Structure 1
């Protein structure tokens, strides 16, 4: 015949395991809900960081208006054109030498900007007034 102490011990441990299992189940459910909430918050932070980067890019570089007929994401880069410079200079009524004086540049650098040979590097530095 089994010892009463061992039977009592087995019964107590069985009841204790059942109680612990019930407590662990509630903790597991809470843990799952917390993990899903954390994952959702991470997705929100990621989306906000992307939005912030997009807005920061827009603040640094002005984009074309969405109504302009092009894509809203398409940004046209402005490129230098010697013919446009010559046309603008003619519109303002400036000669090459007066344009050179305005820019404080040597004559070869002004000539290069209207389609002539490339100037010396030394002449590309702004002059200092003495």
Structure 2
């Protein structure tokens, strides 16, 4: 009996998105100090975790995805004239099957395909369609 499996190139971004979503949703417990009572929650990020922390987690889970995400962030900065927010990057990973441009950059980076990376970077879309 044959089993059909998704190619790794299609499955990896989904696994990364699931792992990051799981990490972001974990509860964090504060510590207490006998002298001062409860300490502030050192992992409370409010609405957005720092980008470096997010990329660090991504690097541990899937180094190619982290490198592709960095290329995506750089292309967004160049094309849109502002840095991408972490919420936008997380959405690019998690909406549907993931942003095809982000996934293309991850694949091109993994294959060390500079021409492919440049081609994908030119396709980055800015919010509201404001691409220079």
Class of the TM-score when normalised by the shorter of the 2 chains: under 0.3
Which has the larger helix fraction?
1
State the TM-score, normalizing by the size of structure 2: 0.20
Larger radius of gyration: 1
Higher relative contact order (CA 8 A, sep 6+): 2
